[in-house]
Amino acid sequence: MTTANTSGLVPIYDSMVAEHGDVPTQTREAAEEIQREVAEVLDWNRFRPGD
């Protein structure tokens, strides 16, 4: 597949996003939120004596 052929895939992707939503972006955002929550829960620094 050449780069000229890959430009033809964009309308297909755009129509899938229109139909199903931007699943990759939604997944990435959910994963980032989970990572923030886990980092907060596993923050052992708050249990250190003297801090």
pLDDT-derived band of residue 34, with 50, 70 and 90 as boundaries? very high
Is the pLDDT at 42 greater than 60? The verdict is yes
- Please tell me the distance from the alpha carbon of residue 1 to that of residue 28, in angstroms, as a whole number: 28
- Alpha-carbon Rg for the chain, nearest whole angstrom, is 20
- For Cα atoms 12, 15, 21, give the angle at the middle one, nearest 5 degrees: 125
pLDDT, position 1: 44
Is the pLDDT at 24 greater than 70? The verdict is yes
